[in-house]
């Protein structure tokens, strides 16, 4: 985040987050990337010990009680050391715990949120199924009522932290006959009888974060573990898409930032034809573009965080801004990471520098938490709704009429 926009407290918070990123042992990052470690408990314990989990969550449950701007300050710094660690930082504390705080009973707040924010336990978020992630409301995981319990069966895949999680936020169909938005329930499921996780994917990047398959075979959970009640999953889903997508945007900025720093340093030292390569515009201009792109991405992210914090922006516009942040930041980061690699020549493609890992890691950002095609769909839908309902009725100059023949209605043919 931009330091000149931060308060003194926010600068302190950023420095705390930077300390955490500096604490991360290099061997942990490498062992995760080699998949020798499947779940880095030690990172979450350390983040919890430093009270850096749950930045926006109430202090009484162990959070910091701060806002979205503060959250993305920490998310960006969390992304610097490792994209995979930043994901785990966000999923449990920022997503699942927020769902419980907003929609769950006190028993769950005590059983899940309190230990998780201390870094003692972890909770995974389980939406995607083998049959598809984008078509979330077509979920095939089902739950049937049995007395005061529900019995869940189905499979989820690509679940970050499936390996290592003690709790799972599982979306299941509870009323198959109802319209899509009224048929799904968000259950908190402990790791109990019938729950099995499998670490089976050979991921291109973001390794070592326990991303796996979750199998639910006749898993019994009490009805009170349903967040927002039975068939109330839609509201939970919509709310969670904010931390999922804005959090992803912020940590992606953090993850690509070192690429720019490494490429800047390299291009000012590396010589070709007797000159530092930064002097060749083909190189120096690339770095200039990267810096500009990163600042633009950060500006969008920050503005979105401010919009949410203000509490004055309507839900549809927030949805659009969050989706714009996710799409723009992740595509920008991908472009930036590739430009940085290009700047480094052949050595950028090797593991002498971490650029190749950064490139592998952040490619995922355009796919998960809703693909960028889905982001585009949301932006399109929300923009047209907003334009129709709000913007077209605002008291602003009607520039459409500032044309010589603007009054020729017979020429304005629409069908």
Please report how close the Cβ of residue 209 comes to ligand FAD at its closest, in angstroms. Answer: 8
Give the binding range for ligand FAD (CB under 6 A) out of 225-233, 344-352, 371-379, 396-404. 371-379
Of these, 371, 381, 385, 386, which contacts ligand FAD (CB under 6 A)?
Answer: 371
The residue among 30 and 377 lying less far from ligand FAD, judged by its C-beta, is 377
When asked if residue 333 is in the footprint of ligand FAD (CB under 6 A), the reply is no
Please report how close the Cβ of residue 206 comes to ligand FAD at its closest, in angstroms. Answer: 5
When asked if residue 133 is in the footprint of ligand FAD (CB under 6 A), the reply is yes
The tokens for 141 are 């995981």
Residue 184, classed as helix, strand or coil, is strand
CB 49 within 8 A of CB 124: no
When asked if residue 125 is in the footprint of ligand FAD (CB under 6 A), the reply is yes
Please report how close the Cβ of residue 388 comes to ligand FAD at its closest, in angstroms. Answer: 21
Q: In 174-237, where do the E strands start and end?
A: 184-190, 195-198, 212-222, 226-227
CA distance linking residue 154 with residue 218, whole number of Å: 8
The residue among 100 and 159 lying less far from ligand FAD, judged by its C-beta, is 159
Of these, 20, 53, 100, 127, which contacts ligand FAD (CB under 6 A)?
Answer: 127
When asked if residue 35 is in the footprint of ligand FAD (CB under 6 A), the reply is no
Please report how close the Cβ of residue 145 comes to ligand FAD at its closest, in angstroms. Answer: 24
Question: Count of residues for the chain?
Answer: 415
When asked if residue 134 is in the footprint of ligand FAD (CB under 6 A), the reply is yes
Of these, 377, 381, 383, 385, which contacts ligand FAD (CB under 6 A)?
Answer: 377
Paired sense of beta strands 184-190 and 212-222, if any = unpaired
> Nearest to ligand FAD by Cβ — which residue?
133
Please report how close the Cβ of residue 8 comes to ligand FAD at its closest, in angstroms. Answer: 35
Q: Please give the residues from 81 up to 110 whose contact with ligand FAD meets the rule CB under 6 A.
A: 91
**Closest among 363, 320, 368, 304 to 91, alpha carbons compared:** 368
When asked if residue 329 is in the footprint of ligand FAD (CB under 6 A), the reply is no
When asked if residue 126 is in the footprint of ligand FAD (CB under 6 A), the reply is yes
Give the binding range for ligand FAD (CB under 6 A) out of 15-23, 104-112, 203-211, 320-328. 203-211
When asked if residue 367 is in the footprint of ligand FAD (CB under 6 A), the reply is yes
Helix axis angle, 281-310 to 233-269, nearest 10°: 150
Please report how close the Cβ of residue 201 comes to ligand FAD at its closest, in angstroms. Answer: 7
The tokens for 186 are 């968000």
- The CA dihedral of 276, 278, 280, 284, to the nearest 10 degrees, is 180
The tokens for 221 are 């959970």
CA distance linking residue 94 with residue 88, whole number of Å: 9
* CA distance to 61, 114, 295, 322, 382, per residue, from 247 (Å): 21, 21, 17, 9, 20
Residues 6 or more apart whose Cβ sits within 8 Å of residue 74: 13, 14, 16, 17, 52, 55
Q: Please give the residues from 15 up to 34 whose contact with ligand FAD meets the rule CB under 6 A.
A: none
| Residues in contact with ligand FAD by the rule CB under 6 A | 91, 125-128, 132-134, 158-160, 203, 206, 211, 364, 367-371, 373-374, 377
């Amino acid at each position: 985040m931009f330091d000149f926009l931060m308060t003194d407290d926010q600068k302190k918070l950023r420095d705390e987050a930077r300390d955490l990123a500096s604490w991360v042992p290099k061997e942990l990052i490498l062992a995760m990337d080699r998949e020798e470690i499947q779940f880095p408990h030690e990172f979450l314990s350390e983040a919890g010990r430093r009270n850096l989990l749950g930045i926006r969550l109430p202090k009484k449950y162990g959070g910091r009680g701060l806002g979205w701007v503060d959250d993305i300050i920490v998310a960006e710094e969390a992304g610097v050391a490792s994209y995979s660690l930043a994901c785990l930082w966000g999923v449990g504390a920022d997503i699942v715990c927020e769902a419980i705080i907003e929609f769950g009973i006190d028993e769950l707040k005590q059983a899940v949120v309190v230990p998780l924010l201390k870094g003692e336990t972890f909770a995974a978020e389980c939406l995607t199924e083998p049959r598809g992630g984008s078509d979330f409301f077509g979920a095939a995981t089902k739950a049937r009522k049995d007395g005061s319990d529900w019995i869940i069966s189905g499979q989820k895949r690509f679940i970050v932290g499936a390996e290592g999680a003690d709790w799972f936020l599982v979306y299941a169909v509870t009323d198959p006959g109802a319209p899509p938005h009224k048929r799904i329930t968000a259950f908190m499921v402990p790791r109990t009888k019938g729950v099995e996780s499998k670490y089976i994917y050979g991921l291109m990047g973001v390794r070592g974060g326990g991303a796996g398959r979750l199998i639910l075979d006749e898993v019994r959970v009490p009805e009170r573990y349903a967040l927002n009640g039975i068939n109330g999953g839609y509201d939970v889903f919509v709310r969670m898409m904010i931390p999922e997508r804005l959090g992803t945007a912020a940590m992606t900025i953090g993850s690509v930032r070192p690429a720019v720093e490494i490429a800047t340093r390299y291009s000012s030292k590396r010589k070709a034809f007797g000159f530092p390569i930064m002097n060749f515009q083909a190189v120096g201009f690339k770095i200039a573009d990267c810096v500009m792109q990163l600042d633009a991405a950060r500006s969008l992210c920050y503005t979105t965080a401010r919009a949410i914090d203000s509490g004055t922006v309507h839900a549809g516009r927030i949805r659009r801004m969050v989706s714009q942040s996710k799409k723009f930041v992740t595509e920008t980061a991908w472009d930036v990471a590739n430009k940085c690699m290009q700047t480094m020549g052949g050595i950028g493609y090797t593991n002498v520098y971490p650029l190749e890992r950064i490139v592998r890691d952040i490619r995922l950002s355009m796919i998960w938490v809703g693909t960028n095609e889905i982001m585009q769909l949301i932006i399109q839908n929300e923009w047209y709704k907003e334009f129709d309902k709000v913007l077209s009725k605002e008291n602003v100059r009607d520039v459409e009429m500032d044309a010589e023949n603007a009054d020729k209605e017979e020429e304005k043919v629409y069908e």
